[in-house]
Amino acid sequence: MEITAIDLSAKRGEEVLFQHLHFTIHDRELLTITGPNGIGKSTLLRIIAGFLPANEGEVAAQEGDQRFPVALVSHYLGSQNAMKTHLTVLQNLEFWSNFDSAQLLSPMEALDQVELSGIEHLPFGVLSTGQKRRVAIARLLLSHQPLWLLDEPTSGLDKHASAIFAKIMEEHRNRSGMIIAATHLPLGIEENRHILLDEYLPDFEDS
Ligand SMILES: Nc1ncnc2c1ncn2[C@@H]1O[C@H](COP(=O)(O)OP(=O)(O)OP(=O)(O)O)[C@@H](O)[C@H]1O
């Protein structure tokens, strides 16, 4: 499988954030996106995920001759953790596990992977910032999707948790997985491609 973006451009309101962005990634590859605050990294991830329309251009997944929306083959980990605060950790993960029929790990197995076994009966809302992020990462392991779209995935993680997550990302790549991550911090695994979003600012006459 590959993910291809052709001549992508994004607008927020009347402002063009970036334009003429092209990339392709293949199985087992990590693409990182960097750039200063507000340049459009989260916007780009949301366009790739299909949550926002591109201003111009297109992005799609491709397998052989078939092209299809990225949403069908991806997990999206946004800046928010996508968990209900009043439900327990286990109830939240069970919800997500039922949401997608293709099973990879059970909620308890996924929690074990992020070294959080034992807190499954706590309401999500009482967890520390780093624990919340680890539960959100556990969600990625409930079902296999070829592409992980990650927005600042290590935000709030300490050194040990970041190392656990690096191992989880490597295992995903070993299952032929792909990763596109917006990040200010090194992810601790080798990247294959890198987009510096500053290089795609609009030309003055186009803005
Ligand atoms: N819903 C929205 N409506 C209008 N403008 C928005 C909206 N969401 C974001 N923006 C603007 O779009 C621009 C890009 O935001 P985005 O969140 O994509 O940046 P970013 O590169 O991810 O920033 P950061 O590094 O701070 O997370 C910013 O100027 C932001 O204020």
- The residue range of the domain holding 122 is 2-206
Residuewise pLDDT in 10s, the chain (207 residues): 999 999 999 999 889 999 999 999 999 999 999 999 999 999 999 999 999 999 999 999 999 999 999 999 999 999 999 999 999 999 999 999 998 766 899 999 999 999 999 999 999 999 999 999 999 999 999 999 999 999 999 999 999 999 999 999 999 999 999 999 999 988 999 999 999 999 999 886 554
* Cβ atoms within 10 Å of 194's Cβ, excluding its own: 11
Q: Is any atom of ligand 1 closer than 6 Å to the C-beta of 64? A: no
Per-residue tokens: 74? 């991806």
* Cβ atoms within 10 Å of 118's Cβ, excluding its own: 10
18, 43, 184, best to mutate for ligand 1 pocket (most atoms within 8 Å of CB): 43
The CATH number given to whatever domain includes residue 120 is 3.40.50.300
Q: Kindly give the pairing relationship between strand 56-63 and strand 66-68.
A: antiparallel
Distance CA 151, CA 164 (A): 17
ipTM of the complex: 0.95
42, 155, 184, best to mutate for ligand 1 pocket (most atoms within 8 Å of CB): 42
> What is the separation of C-alpha 184 from the centre of its chain, rounded to a whole number of angstroms?
14
First to last CA, the chain: 35
Q: How many domains does the chain have?
A: 1
